[in-house]
Amino acid sequence: MAAQQNPFRPSRLYTIRGDRYAYQLQTWPMPPKVPFLYLRGYWIEREAGFGIGQRVQIQVADQRIVIVPAPSSHGPENPLAHRICQPPGNFV
């Protein structure tokens, strides 16, 4: 039996953060913080294949969040969505 290949690249470690919506800052007592996850980096395009302006769907299951391209009958929203952007300067 052939070994299955893992389709995932090495994982990254993130922390679920908490903050309040701007309109909540003037209320008393303060409501509980809203959890959020901040994703940013060239890896989103280069490794995951998602382009700037591309629409995505978020799928949620038991302690899993999966980001997949949004279905579209007209192609990508942004014609540059699948282009891999190079950062300014001489970054490698």
All residues at 6 or more sequence positions from 44 whose CB lies less than 8 Å from its CB, including other chains: 50
pLDDT at position 91, please?
Answer: 40
pTM assigned to the model? 0.61
pLDDT, tens digit, 9 for 90 and up, residues 22-32: 888 888 898 99
pLDDT for the residue 87: 46
